C-alpha cells in the first residue's frame, strides 16, 4: 500500500529574488526534484496589484525551480504550484515554504491522520470571469481535483485550501472591453470594490462550493462581496494581475499518511481575537500550559502558521468604533495587524499572513481563518 509522506520547510528570504534558502534545502536533500510540489510564501514589496517585489520573486523562484527540476521554465507550473502573497508590512518576515510529497510503502498505517497535500491548476480564466461565477466554478473544479490529488474525500479533513487566481489589470480590462465584455470592477486595488478583492472572494466561494460549505443554488455573480453569509472556513486566496490560471493547494489530514506533520485550523471571532489564534494551534496539536501555548512546543514542534487578516466590514469591534475603514492605507494596516496578532501568539515573525481586503468570503463576517502545521509528538 502506498501513502503520502509530506513535509514542509520554511526559509526566510533576504530579497525578493533570494533563493539561497531553497538551494540549501536542495543541497541537504530535504527537497528533491521529484518531491517538491508547492512553494508558498510571503514576498516583500508593496502588496499592491502591481507589486514588483512579488512579480520579481515569482520570476526568480520559477527560474530556480526550472533549474532544480531541469525543465523549461514554462513547464514549472505543471509540476510545482506557486502561491506567493505580496506584502510583508509590519512583523511578517518574507519567506518561502517548500512543500514536499512522496509516496511511500506502508504495511500498517495506524489510526492517526497526518498531513497530506494535493494541488491542481485551473482552466484559464478570462478577465470577464474574474470575481464572477466563471472564476468560482473553475476554482471549485480545481479544488475537487486537488482534493483527489491529496487523497481526501471528506471535506472535514481539509484544513486549508490556498488559491491564487488571476486579478485584473489595465491591459486585461482593455482586452475584455475590446471584445464587448464587461469586468467586475475598474478599481484595480484590494479596496472594498476592487478587482483584487472580487478575485480573492470568487476564489473563496469556489472552495466553499467544492467543500459543500455553500450550495451552488445560492451562488451567482450578484452574491460575490454582497452576501457575507456565504463563506469558506478554510480558503485562503490571493490574486495577481499577471496570472492567467488559478492554482489550488489543499492541505488536510489523511488516514494512513506517513507524514511527521499534522494540520489544524480555527476561525477567530473578531479582529482582535488572540484566543482564536490559540485555538488553531490547539487544533493542530500544540500543547498548552494554562491558557498559553507551551513555549517549547512553539519553538520545536510548530512548523508554520497560515492566516488571513481580512478587515471587518463594520467599524465596530466589540462595541467600540475603530477608524480602520476610513484609513487610506487600511489595506496595508489591516494586513500588518493580522501579522501582529499571529506573531504575538506564536512568538515568531515567519508566519504566512495575507489579507487587507475589507470583508471577505474567506471566513465568517469579522473573523479570520488560521491554520497551523505541527510536528507530531510521536514523530
The answer for residues whose C-beta is within 8 angstroms of residue 286's C-beta and 6 or more apart is 293, 294, 297, 298, 301, 302, 372, 374
Active-site entry in 11, 172, 238, 259: 238
H-state helical runs in the chain: 20-27, 52-69, 73-79, 133-150, 170-178, 195-210, 274-284, 295-300, 330-346
Per-residue contact flags (x/-) with its own copies for residues 311 to 340, judged by CB under 8 A: --x-x-xx-xxxxxxxxxx--xxx-xx-xx
**Which of 121, 155, 192, 365: binder of its own copies (CB under 8 A)?**
192
DSSP string, 138-165: HHHHHHHHHHHHHT---GGGEEEEEEEE
Q: Please tell me whether residue 91 binds its own copies under the rule CB under 8 A.
A: yes
Q: Which of 103, 104, 148, 292 binds its own copies (CB under 8 A)?
A: 292
Instruction: For the segment 206-245, give every residue that binds its own copies (CB under 8 A).
Output: 225
Task: Cell numbers for 305, please give them.
Answer: 502558521
Closest CB to its own copies among residues 9, 251 = 9
- Put the strands of the sheet holding 245-255 in their side by side order: 113-124, 245-255, 158-166, 235-240
**Annotated catalytic residue: which of 138, 164, 243, 335?**
164
Write out the binding residues for its own copies, residues 159-188 only, by CB under 8 A.
170-171, 185-188
From the CB of 171, what's the least distance to its own copies, in Å?
8
Placement of cell 494551534 in the chain: 281
* Minimum distance of its own copies from residue 228's CB (angstroms): 11
The per-residue b/e assignment along 193-209, b for 16 or more CB within 10 angstroms, e otherwise, is ebbbbbbbbbbbbbbbb
How far apart are alpha carbons 167 and 175 in whole angstroms?
13
Give the Cα-Cα-Cα angle 239, 251, 223 (nearest 5 degrees): 45
14 binds its own copies (CB under 8 A): yes
The number of C-alpha atoms within 13 Å of 72 and in the hemisphere containing its C-beta is 2
Q: Which of 271, 279, 357, 363 binds its own copies (CB under 8 A)?
A: 271
98, β-bridge pairs: 9, 39
Place of cell 494554562: 290
CA dist list (Å): 264 to 56, 173, 295: 32, 39, 18
We find the least distance from the C-beta atom of residue 255 to its own copies, in angstroms, to be 34
For position 73 contacting its own copies by CB under 8 A, the verdict is: no
Fill in the per-residue mask, 19 to 58: x = in contact with its own copies (CB under 8 A), - = not in contact: -------------------------xxx-xxxxxx-xx--
Q: Cell digits for 129?
A: 470571469
The residue from 194, 206, 240, 256 that contacts its own copies (CB under 8 A) is 194
Name the helix (H) or strand (E) containing 306.
strand 302-311
Note if 164 is an active site residue. Answer: yes
For residues 93-122, which are near its own copies according to CB under 8 A?
Answer: 93-94
Examine residue 289 and tell whether it contacts its own copies (CB under 8 A): yes
| Number of residues forming the site for its own copies (CB under 8 A) | 75
Q: Is 285 in the site for its own copies (CB under 8 A)?
A: no
Nearer to its own copies, 264 or 339 (CB): 339
Binding span for its own copies by CB under 8 A among 112-120, 129-137, 210-218, 287-295: 287-295
Catalytic status, residue 11: no
Q: Which of 73, 77, 106, 272 binds its own copies (CB under 8 A)?
A: 272
Pick between residue 168 and residue 373 the one whose CB is nearest to its own copies. Answer: 168
List, by residue number, the catalytic residues: 164, 238
Amino acid at each position: 500500500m502506498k501513502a503520502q509522506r509530506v513535509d514542509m520547510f520554511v526559509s526566510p528570504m533576504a530579497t525578493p529574488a533570494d533563493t539561497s534558502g531553497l538551494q540549501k534545502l536542495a543541497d541537504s536533500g530535504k527537497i528533491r526534484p521529484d518531491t517538491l510540489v508547492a512553494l508558498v510564501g510571503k514576498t516583500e514589496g508593496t502588496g499592491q496589484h502591481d507589486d514588483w517585489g512579488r512579480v520579481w520573486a515569482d520570476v526568480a523562484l520559477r527560474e530556480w525551480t526550472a533549474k532544480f527540476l531541469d525543465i523549461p521554465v514554462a513547464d514549472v507550473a505543471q509540476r510545482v504550484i506557486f502561491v506567493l502573497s505580496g506584502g510583508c508590512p509590519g512583523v511578517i518576515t518574507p519567506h518561502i515554504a517548500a512543500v514536499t510529497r512522496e509516496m511511500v510503502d506502508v504495511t500498517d498505517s495506524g489510526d492517526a491522520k497526518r498531513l497530506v497535500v494535493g494541488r491542481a491548476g485551473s482552466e484559464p480564466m478570462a478577465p470577464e470571469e474574474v470575481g464572477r461565477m466563471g472564476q468560482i466554478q473553475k476554482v471549485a473544479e480545481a479544488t475537487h481535483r486537488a482534493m483527489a490529488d491529496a487523497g481526501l474525500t471528506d471535506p472535514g479533513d481539509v484544513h486549508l485550501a490556498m488559491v491564487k487566481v488571476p486579478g485584473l489589470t489595465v491591459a486585461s480590462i482593455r482586452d475584455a472591453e475590446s471584445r464587448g465584455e464587461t469586468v467586475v470592477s475598474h478599481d484595480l486595488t484590494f479596496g472594498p470594490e476592487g478587482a483584487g478583492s472580487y478575485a480573492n472572494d470568487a476564489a473563496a466561494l469556489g472552495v466553499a462550493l467544492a467543500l459543500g460549505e455553500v450550495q451552488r443554488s445560492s451562488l451567482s455573480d450578484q452574491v460575490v462581496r454582497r452576501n457575507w453569509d456565504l463563506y469558506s472556513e478554510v480558503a485562503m486566496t490571493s490574486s495577481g494581475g499577471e496570472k492567467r490560471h488559478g492554482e489550488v493547494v489543499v492541505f488536510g489530514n489523511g488516514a494512513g499518511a506517513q507524514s511527521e506533520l499534522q494540520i489544524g485550523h480555527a476561525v477567530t471571532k473578531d479582529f482582535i481575537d488572540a484566543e482564536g489564534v490559540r485555538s488553531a494551534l490547539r487544533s493542530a496539536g500544540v500543547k498548552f500550559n494554562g491558557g498559553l501555548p507551551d513555549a517549547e512546543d512553539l519553538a520545536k514542534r510548530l512548523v508554520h502558521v497560515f492566516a488571513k487578516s481580512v478587515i471587518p466590514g463594520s467599524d465596530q469591534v466589540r462595541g467600540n468604533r475603530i477608524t480602520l475603514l476610513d484609513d487610506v492605507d487600511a489595506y496595508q494596516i489591516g494586513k500588518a495587524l493580522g501579522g501582529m496578532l499571529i506573531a504575538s501568539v506564536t512568538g515568531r515573525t515567519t508566519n504566512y499572513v495575507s489579507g487587507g481586503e475589507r470583508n471577505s468570503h474567506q471566513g465568517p463576517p469579522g473573523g479570520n481563518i488560521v491554520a497551523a502545521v505541527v510536528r507530531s509528538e510521536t514523530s
